[in-house]
Amino acid sequence: MPMRLQDLSSSIVAVVEPETSALVAAQLMRQHQVGALVVVDSTRKNHPVGMLTDRDLVLALMAEGLDPAVFTVGDIMSVDPVLADSQLDAIDAIEMMRLNRLRRLIVIDQSGRLTGIATMEDVLELLARELTALAVGLRGARDREFEQRK
């Protein structure tokens, strides 16, 4: 059975609305120990409209010497986020991340509602498990061959 994006993504997602101040967003990142917040529509709170990363905060505000209490998430967030269907095959999701040069994918259901987030760490964990299983299988094949040649 193929692994789906929903199988490797986290269903616990830190979210913020576009009207939230950049300062509050940074505090939420620290509180939840995450490097990104999914920005959701103010009226349809489970529909993603963007992504805000710690890098956005640093490059758009900190490096420019701007006051994060004055600017909102909507001022500096990445718009038109790449959204991935939760039923997408995990390998296709990895390809989507590669093609779009992303460290994170926002995962949605077929109605466009936020269901999770898949990170590069999630992908690396999946690949490490698969490579370990492959190595164990190859070792078993080698051992079987030794037994047959005795």
For residue 70, what is the DSSP state?
Answer: T
* 90-103 tens-digit pLDDT: 999 999 999 999 99
Q: Does residue 146 register a pLDDT over 70?
A: no
Superfamily, domain 5-149: CBS-domain (3.10.580.10)
Distance CA 92, CA 139 (A): 28
Per-residue b/e over 116-135, b at no fewer than 16 CB within 10 Å?
Answer: bbbbeebbeebeeeeeeeee
* 56-95 tens-digit pLDDT: 999 999 999 999 999 999 999 999 899 999 999 999 999 9
